Structure formats: structure tokens, C-alpha cells
Amino acid sequence: MPEYSLEDIFNMVEQTALPDYPDEEKLAALSPEEATAINKRLIQIAENDDIFAVLWKGRDKIYDAVRAVKKWTKTDFHGPNAEGDDLDLNIIDASDVVQSGTQLTTFVKNVTAGTTYYWSGTNDDKVKLDDDEAIVILGWYDPIDSPKASRVLIELPKRNFIANLSFELNKDVPLIVHEPIIVKPKESFRVQVRYKESGTDMLMPIGVHIRKASDRSL
């Protein structure tokens, strides 16, 4: 993964121009100031240089996800300074993930070889997001000596996405990056995982959860 100096980060953070968006997307506009706030937030929430590199590479899709939420909330992104209905984002944490409708408290779990639902609602139904939130999944991380997960299936409204988790090829940095997956407001999704063997695992998604400041939690 690339390394960034403080000067590099300072020069990258300020966003002065945004890409053109097709009219048919019908998403809310995002100001340069908001994009700069997102950039700063990505630096703040990255747990290490490798995670930061993944977040930074996928920032254009994170912009789009924020625009999708703004379409419904009609509020701006203010990051760590957000209050009330202002928008913010955080790294996806265990508390963001529900398994069979039960909120996780940790990513460390004992798993059984085979396929199971990793992120699902009650009775393993799909999870439906509210109209004031979005999720972006950019990859997966499994910082354990012997990762057990070998494949994930993300079920989306219009397609299913499969990612092979070849952690054995990245032993120094047990991290897999794939195309950005955006779950927009009011959309439903579900995640399945295939475990190649039983034991302790620590699979976690790399991505962000966008929501109102009033919905932030520890």
C-alpha cells in the first residue's frame, strides 16, 4: 500500500473541483467544501495507512453515497462538526453490522466451515436502510493469524456481487479490495460469507456508514 507524508495529505485534502455527474442520476449536489470535509473525515477515521489507502481510492464513490443521502435529508455534510440532521460518516464498525437481526459487539467470532449470513435482518431477511443513511463497502480485512473466510456474496437490489477473499496471497496485509459497493438510502441488502474451515475469525468490512450526526453512536 502507498505511504503518504503529511505534506501529501495536506495537498490532497482540499477539494477544489468535482467530477461532472449525469443528470439522470438525480442525486443532490455536493459542494467543494463538503468534499473537503469528507476528505478530512477519511483521514480521521482510517485505522492505519492500509485502510486509509483503500478509503482514499474509493472516495469518489463515497462522495456519490453522500449525495444519495442528501437527496433525502436535504442537509449538508459537516463531518466531525456535524450536529443534529447534518451528515457525517464513520468507518463501518461491529455495531453497524447485524447478524440475524442482532447487532454485533465485536468482529471476533467462532465460525463453522460452510456458508452463513454475515449481515442480515431478523430471520435472515435483507437489511433495509433508512432514507437518511447509506453504506459503502470497499473491501475486507481479516487481521488474524489464519483467516477462515474465503468468499463473500453481497446481495443488492439489482444484482449480486461476489468477492474472493484470497488472504493467503496477502499475508503481510490481510486485506482484499474490490469494486466499491454502494447501498443507497431505502435499499435492501444482505451479505453471506463462506468459511473454508472452522475456528476463530475476525472478518470485517472496509467501508463507511453515512448518516445524520444525531444517529451517531459509540
Rg of the chain over Cα atoms, rounded to whole angstroms, equals 17
Structure confidence at residue 81 (pLDDT): 85
Q: Which one has a higher pLDDT value, 10 or 59? A: 59
pLDDT tier, 130 (very low <50, low <70, confident <90, very high otherwise) = very high
Secondary structure of the chain as H, E, C letters: CCCCCHHHHHHHHCCCCCCCCCHHHCCCCCCHHHHHHHHHHHHHHCCCHHHHHHHHHCHHHHHHHHHHHHHHHCCCECHHHCCCCCEEEEECCHHHCEECCEECCCCCEEECCEEEEEECCHHHCCEECCCCEEEEEEEEECCCCCCCEEEEEEECCCCEEEEECCHHHCCCCCEEEEEEEEECCCCEEEEEEEECCCEEECCEEEEEEEEEHHHCCC
Structure confidence at residue 33 (pLDDT): 92
Domain residue ranges of the chain, discontinuous segments joined by +: 6-213
pLDDT per position as a tens digit, 197-216: 999 999 999 999 999 988 76
Structure confidence at residue 24 (pLDDT): 43
pLDDT at 218 over 70: no
Structure confidence at residue 3 (pLDDT): 56
Structure confidence at residue 214 (pLDDT): 85
Structure confidence at residue 157 (pLDDT): 93
pLDDT at 98 over 80: yes
pLDDT tier, 6 (very low <50, low <70, confident <90, very high otherwise) = very low
Structure confidence at residue 112 (pLDDT): 97
DSSP category for residue 79: G
